[in-house]
Amino acid sequence: MLWTILECIGKIYKMQSLSVAEIMRQTAGILILLTLLSPALLIVTHTSSNASQNMFNVTFQEQGLPSGTQWSVTLNGTTKTSTGSQITFQVNGPAYLQYSVAKAGNYIPTPSSGTLFINSSQLINVSFAPPFIKLIITGFSVISLSNGSAVPELQPGSNYELLVDVKNEGNVQTLIFVEETVTMAGKVYANVTPVESLGAGSQTQVGFEFTPPQSGVYTLDVLVKAGSNISVSQSFPLYVGVSPKLQLFNVTFQEQGLPSGTQWSVTLNGTTKTSTGSQITFQVKGGKYEYSVGQVTGFQAETPSGVIFVNGTTSVRVEFLPLVFLPTPSVKLYYANGSPILNFQVQVNSSFTIKVTVNNQGNYSGKGYLLVLVEPLNLTRQFNYTLPVNGSATFQVSITPPQAGSYTVTVSTYSVTPQGVQLEKESSITFTAVKPTQVSPPTKTNTTSTTTPSNTSKHTNQSSPPAPPTTGGGLNTTLIVGIVVVVVIVFAVVLILRRR
């Protein structure tokens, strides 16, 4: 804009051969053009101000580090460090941002990196642990190379692939040596040792081709090693020309996550067994079976049902997770016309709305209520809610501050359980009421706003308000007036020069 004005001024100075009337006509044209453009400049600047992105808190919560240990997180190229349990960034959204968590001394983070979609405040849990490797054999299967399907029984002279599933439940990558030996009656028929690289938390299938020369019951011995002192082994029978259904096999379900002495149950092939210990074992013939894990009060099985293929001793891990109902509030302020109050300033005696969204960030549905307290007005409002997993509800309170000063809005969420009412989360914001001459709220013309409960938004507590966007209405008016004054002065100078 300034460059265009300078070009116009340059043209006026070059008008030495023009008459005064001609100069006046061209200058008047410039003034008319600026007058016509003034509303457009105001609209563009106002639109640019309203289009600014929202600010959200992204908080990383660490677990596992000794107290006072320094750790760091890099989010979108910005690195922060802390010796406390939390690191918080304020970022613009919505946006996709990448993060990475550095090692803290000898402690390794999980997760160590990832990508976040920021359209609300978020909490990311990071677990630190010393480096370790934990290998487990999770399964075994025999695949017929003629048709690619799994088979319980092999045939002499046919080609098969023997596959062993190995998982690294540790937090560091490692090389694994998988020694696989097939024997029958003390004679070795195959022996291979493939080497694989297995990342932290990863699983792989290691196998080899095998063609049994004759009928009988072979044994596949598997030994998985990572280094000299980390290993796991297991044996599997191979039925060649012999039906495995003639033999019974143990299928053991191993429980993790329940308090000691808690009763749990598993149903396999229509038979249900219960236990207060860590294992439940069935004896079944070879074949394909469906299983289901019974419900336990206050917990849910990570894998409540599944299918297993039995052709030997089989182990199934059942991990229970505690059921958590976690109603989490977030607070925003809005003018009566629906515009967000981004600078946390309002006019005295003007009405505005406190909008609170409660999102269930747990893995269990539940009931509870929201308590909104506004001080020093001593205004209290209570709202009931029932939230499914990932569900949310929005509530609003209209207030009119009677005098200038600082006001605090505190919101608290409670869950109603058989054991009673429990406080879950609490958050607060502070806003300032000022006299009308001290604040110019943004306006919206010809716009109506309707608020309905939402089941999609996710928010966590914001520890600090977002930075207010810069406002440009007053600056634009001053700029335009200045431009007009400059043009008038230039016009006067041209007249003086023409008279000379």
Average pLDDT value for residue range 432-448 = 60
Q: Are residues 303 and 339 in the same domain?
A: no
Q: Are residues 113 and 246 in the same domain?
A: no
Q: Tell the burial category of 10 from Cβ atoms under 10 Å away from its Cβ (0-12, 13-18, 19+).
A: exposed
Minimum mean pLDDT range among 118-127, 204-213, 362-371, 462-471 = 462-471
Asked if pLDDT for residue 146 goes beyond 70, the answer is yes
Among 322, 341, 360, identify where a domain stops. Answer: 322
Tally of CA atoms within 13 A in the half-sphere of 330 that contains its CB = 23
CATH code, domain carrying 107: 2.60.40.1120
Q: Are residues 219 and 146 in the same domain?
A: yes
Q: Are residues 391 and 461 in the same domain?
A: yes
Q: What is the distance between the alpha carbons of residues 379 and 182, in angstroms, rounded to a whole number?
A: 77
Model confidence band, residue 5 (pLDDT cutoffs 50, 70, 90): low
Provide the residue range defining the domain that includes 315: 135-322
Percentage of the chain modeled with pLDDT above 70: 77
Residue 380 in contact with residue 345, Cβ under 8 Å?
no
Q: Are residues 374 and 487 in the same domain?
A: no
Minimum mean pLDDT range among 338-347, 368-377, 387-396, 437-446 = 437-446
Asked if pLDDT for residue 126 goes beyond 50, the answer is yes
Average pLDDT value for residue range 417-423 = 82
Q: Are residues 241 and 299 in the same domain?
A: yes
Report the domain count for the chain. Answer: 4
Q: What is the distance between the alpha carbons of residues 79 and 464, in angstroms, rounded to a whole number?
A: 19
Q: Are residues 398 and 424 in the same domain?
A: yes
Among 111, 129, 147, identify where a domain stops. Answer: 129
Token pair belonging to 400: 């009119």
Asked if pLDDT for residue 240 goes beyond 60, the answer is yes
Q: What is the distance between the alpha carbons of residues 413 and 410, in angstroms, rounded to a whole number?
A: 10
Residue 324 burial (CB count, 10 A): 15
CATH code, domain carrying 442: 2.60.40.10
Q: Are residues 299 and 177 in the same domain?
A: yes
Q: Are residues 369 and 304 in the same domain?
A: no
| pLDDT, mean over the chain | 82
The pLDDT of residue 442 is 52
Q: Are residues 302 and 420 in the same domain?
A: no
Report the predicted TM-score, pTM, of the whole model to 2 decimal places: 0.40
Q: What is the pLDDT of residues 253-262, one digit of tens each?
A: 999 999 988 9
Q: What is the pLDDT of residues 13-58, one digit of tens each?
A: 455 555 655 656 665 556 555 555 555 454 444 444 444 468 999 9
The pLDDT of residue 60 is 96
Q: Are residues 172 and 79 in the same domain?
A: no
More confident residue, 496 or 362: 362
Model confidence band, residue 437 (pLDDT cutoffs 50, 70, 90): confident
Average pLDDT value for residue range 397-420 = 91
Residue 138 in contact with residue 76, Cβ under 8 Å?
no
Q: What is the pLDDT of residues 331-349, one digit of tens each?
A: 999 998 888 998 888 989 9
Q: Are residues 310 and 191 in the same domain?
A: yes
The pLDDT of residue 498 is 62
Q: What is the distance between the alpha carbons of residues 72 and 378, in angstroms, rounded to a whole number?
A: 41
Among 275, 303, 322, identify where a domain stops. Answer: 322
